[in-house]
Structure 1
Amino acid sequence: MSALLAQAQQMQQKLLEAQHQLANSEVHGQAGGGLVQVRVKGSGEVIGVTIDPKVVDPNDIETLQDLIVGAMRDASQQVTKMAQERLGALAGAMRPPAPPGAPGMPGAPGRQVCRVCPVHRGARYAGYARCAGAPGMPGV
């Protein structure tokens, strides 16, 4: 039991270290082929914006606004991807396996298999006798 507790504490420490590294990491988002660039920390804090003077047109502010939003979106997606890569494996390793028969696991009581719907064939639904996942498909 103490070995399991020590392992859990070690995994928690690794997760905290990964979160700290993520928060201090930096990603670069861009739009317009690099005309607008945004620097964002892994914590989500925007730390810099660079706008090429070629894209600044007083008669077309909407394009500049769209490019800024696009660069922010790109940076946000990169932060999300980086977080999934760095934290996903650690968080998954911390989850204990579910026992057979637990909700969502094979062998759980009250489960029925959708045999008709080609989209969800083999999927298990808790307490459902019909497949609600595909329009127009008859229930089991």
Structure 2
Amino acid sequence: MMRGMNMQGMMKQMQKLQKNMQKDQEELQKTVFEGHAPDDAVVVKFTGDHKMQDIEIKEEAVDPDDVDMLQDLVIAAVNDAIKKIEQETQRTMGKYSRNIPGL
């Protein structure tokens, strides 16, 4: 009889954990992350589910004779935003896998 009670309690605990995990995932996906190139020449905004929402390019970053520089700035800003998303995802969602053996 005690085993049934422990199993039932464990199932309730897992359901609560799953509900909390889903809530945290939804919040993370709604969060807006900004990525910045050096000197903020390019700033991008992504949601936590990696969808770009906006890009701002300073006028002085646009040089028709140096398109490569603008491309590099966009790449730097996007990579910065993705890094921030990954860090926050690990911080937020990592707590669910910390105590699970093998993960």
TM-score (norm 1): 0.66
Unaligned runs of 5+ in 1: 99-140
Say which of 15, 34, 37 aligns to 1:31. Answer: 37
Matched, 1:46 2:52: yes
Deviation at 1:32, TM superposition (A): 2.0
CA RMSD of aligned residues (A): 1.2
Per the alignment, residue 110 of structure 1 pairs with none
Moved more, 83-92 or 68-77: 83-92
Between the aligned partners of 2:37 and 2:80, the Cα distance in structure 1 is 8
Give the alignment of 1:78-117 within 5 angstroms.
78-93=84-99, 95=100, 97=101
Counterpart Cα distance in 2 of 1:15 and 1:40: 21
Counterpart amino acid of 2:89? A
- SS of equivalent residue, structure 1 residue 58: coil
Aligned to 1:20: 26
Letter in 1 for 2:43: Q
1:137 is matched with which residue? none
In the TM superposition, what is the alpha-carbon distance from 1:78 to its structure 2 partner? 0.2
Are positions 1:55 and 2:61 aligned together? Answer: yes
Residue 33 of structure 1 and its aligned partner are, at CA, apart by: 1.4
Q: CA deviation at 1:90?
A: 2.1
The amino acid that maps onto 1:56 is: V
Q: Which residue of 2 aligns with 1:112?
A: none
Asked if residue 70 in structure 1 is aligned to residue 70 in structure 2, the reply is no
Query: Structure with the greater relative contact order (CA < 8 A, sep ≥ 6): 1 or 2?
Result: 2
Letter in 2 for 1:20: E
Deviations 1:95-116 (A, max 9, x none): 2x57xxxxxxxxxxxxxxxxxx
Aligned partners of 1:11 and 1:45: how far apart in 2? 27
Q: How many residues align?
A: 96
> Which structure is larger by alpha-carbon Rg, 1 or 2?
1
- Percent pairwise identity: 27
